[in-house]
């Protein structure tokens, strides 16, 4: 699951780099519901164009003592730690920090159906003998 991208309406605001930001609540809810730990894992591009994985400490969820917000804050701290070390490799496609007093956040892309138009009809003949 992706912890820093939320393309749905199921997000909450959590402190992220010192400011309120929208992060997905799904990983925290799943951890609390199942008792399974979250294992923050990051892929980093190395100078020789190979990749390395960073596996952070597990985030354990205890629903008798923690809330979704508590777990989300731990996820945010893990994200902040690795992003600080490799900030040149983190790119946002939408603004996590956009303030919105209604609590409802717009989707990061327009959801309108595309309108297709055939510009020219053409025929393709196979030339490979098949």
Per-residue pLDDT, 2: 60
**pLDDT at site 78:** 93
Is 26 within 8 Å of 41 (Cβ atoms)? no
Rounded to whole angstroms, the Cα distance separating 24 from 70 reads 13
Indicate whether this model's pTM tops 0.75: no
Distances 13 to 47, 49, 96, 106, 107 between C-alpha atoms, Å: 35, 35, 9, 14, 15
> Binning pLDDT at 50, 70 and 90, where does residue 22 land?
confident
Mean pLDDT check: name the lowest of 35-39, 50-54, 87-91, 123-127: 123-127
């Amino acid at each position: 699951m992706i912890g820093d991208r939320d393309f749905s309406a199921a997000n909450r605001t959590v402190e992220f780099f010192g400011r309120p930001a929208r992060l997905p609540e799904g990983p925290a809810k799943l951890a609390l519901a199942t008792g399974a730990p979250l294992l923050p894992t990051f892929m980093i591009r190395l100078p020789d164009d190979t990749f390395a994985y960073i596996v952070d400490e597990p985030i354990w969820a205890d629903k008798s003592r923690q809330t979704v917000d508590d777990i989300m804050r731990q996820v945010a701290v893990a994200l902040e730690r690795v992003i600080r070390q490799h900030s040149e490799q983190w790119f946002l496609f939408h603004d996590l920090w956009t303030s919105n007093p209604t609590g409802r956040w717009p989707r990061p892309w327009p959801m309108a159906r595309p309108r297709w138009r055939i510009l020219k009809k053409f025929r393709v003949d196979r030339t490979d003998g098949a």
